A and B are shown apart, each in its own frame.
Chain A
Amino acid sequence: MLSGFDFQTIVHALPYLFLTGMSFTLTLTLCATIGGMIFGTLLAVMRLSDNRILSVIAGGYVNLLRSLPLVLVIFWFYFLVPFLAQWLTGSSSPVRIDPFWSSVITFTLFEACYFCEIVRSGIQSLPRGQTLAASALGMTDRQALFYVILPQALRNMLPLILTQTIILFQDTSLVYVLSITDFLGAAAKIAQRDGRLLEMYVFAAVVYFIISLIASQAVRRLQKRVAIIR
């Protein structure tokens, strides 16, 4: 099998694969994680708030997106975002959005649902006494949230958040369905151009595998360190 394996193709493609492809994948992962965390925390706070309207809206949004496949959501936002942008900016025709920003928006809005559930369970896992103690000290609800609840919840949830980020990193490969040049997209383009499907796909798999494996081992180590607090 290895006799026909053309390492030369891979070597020649390396700059394109990593400088164009992997940098897209990593930037997208980073932006979507940050955006998803912010929006996800907001959704979690909305879901847990005493305001019924807010909690129903957030709950409905999270449950809806969580029961749809990511591929379908990618298509949805790819077509929906230009119309939304048109509506927001009041322009006369749908706004053309750069594929990168379109994917950032999609993944932020989609992954926020998963981050929301993580943050929510993190907040709920804290003893009720924390909130009560904060208000006994005279803190407002907002102060209690930002200075007492969230810091503890986020620390408890850190391993889960990072694991979700690894999943997100793998999920970004699905932008392939929009013919965007992420790492897998770059590999697929070279594969089809040079007729080297075997080499490129195996190489892509190995790279994803190594990165995800190292990252998940690191998370496991971190989990042991964070778990000692209790």
Chain B
Amino acid sequence: MNYHWNWWIFFEPSLDGTNTYLTTLFWGLGWTAATAVVGFTIALVLGSVVGVARTAPIGWVQTSGMVFVEVFRNIPLLVQMFLWYFVLPEVLPRDAGMWLKQFPNAQFYTAAVCLGFYHAARMAEVVRAGLLSLSRGQKMAGQALGLTLPQTYRYVLLPVAYRIVVPAITSEFLSCTKNTSVGIAIGLVELTGTARAMQENTFQVFEAFAAATVLYLALNMVIVFAMRSVEKAAVIPGLGNRIAGRGR
């Protein structure tokens, strides 16, 4: 092979003049983590709302929940990214569009919101699966005690449902973290993006991508270990290791 290996490349200054390539990679890792955390927070909140809506005994609420899930699940993430980044400012009223276009760190917020909505659709299915796995008696008992429907969800159904689906939430979080890399298409300088930039500037293809690979694996491991303790704490005694709704 006539490939010229050069592992010292990481300590050479990158094109921005101040940081070494290694530092830029860690900045990329930081943006990846930040995008994943913000995006997944949105997904958890929005996904819970939609998931509850899909099980609610009100026709139009159920339907709108279903429409939300189908729309965000059946359009490729990359296309959604373009819609949020390029199309949304055009569709909004002129002033709002201008404001969006001049937003500092627009790529970061766009990617986070886009991932949030995309994974919200999948989280909604997870939450719904958790809710459906509960016996009907739970809901009836709640209502028999005189709780209103929202109270039944808040105090009876959701606390148990969440604990059942923690493993599925872990795998959604992992997939959300990986999906931040799609942000590269709108210019987000996350981990894959920094590796790609390093490769373009130095031609050290394999060193750059090997470093990104190692960093992704490390990030994965951190998430898996962190979530494992959450999973341990969330196990419902007596319910065995029943796992509901592992995404799709």
Contacts and interface: CB of A to CB of B under 8 A. Distances in A.
A223 B217 CA distance: 35
A79 B206 contact: yes
Contact of A197 (B2, B75, B90, B195): B90
A198 B90 contact: yes
A202 B75 CA distance: 11
A94 B76 CA distance: 33
A71 B217 contact: no
Secondary structure call for the A interface: helix
B58 interface: no
Contact of A176 (B80, B181, B185): B185
Contacts of B212: 72
A69 B178 contact: yes
B167 to A, nearest CB: 15
Contact count band on A: 35 or more
B179 interface: yes
Q: Which of A71, A83, A177, A208 has the most CB of B within 10 A?
A: A71
A69 B179 contact: yes
A134 to B, nearest CB: 30
A79 B182 contact: no
B178 A70 contact: yes
A83 B213 contact: no
Contact of B82 (A170, A174, A201): A201
Interface string B1-27: 111000000000000000000000000
Contacts of A170: 74-77
A131 B178 CA distance: 38
Contacts of A76: 209, 213
Given A79-B209, A87-B1, A71 B182 contact: yes
A82 to B, nearest CB: 10
B209 A72 contact: yes
A1 B2 CA distance: 55
A197 B87 contact: yes
Interface string A35-72: 00000000000000000000000000000100111111
A216 interface: yes
B74 A173 contact: no
B145 interface: no
Interface in A166-212: 170-171, 173-174, 176-177, 184, 188, 191, 197-198, 201-202, 204-205, 208-209, 212
Contact of B213 (A72, A93, A94, A174): A72
A212 B79 CA distance: 13
Contacts of B87: 197-198, 201-202
A75 interface: yes
20 contacts: A1-B91, A67-B174, A67-B220, A69-B181, A69-B192, A72-B191, A75-B195, A76-B209, A79-B205, A83-B1, A87-B1, A170-B75, A170-B76, A173-B76, A184-B76, A188-B82, A197-B90, A201-B83, A201-B86, A212-B74
Given A67-B217, A75-B195, A75-B196, 8 more contacts: A1-B91, A72-B216, A79-B205, A86-B1, A163-B248, A176-B185, A197-B87, A209-B74
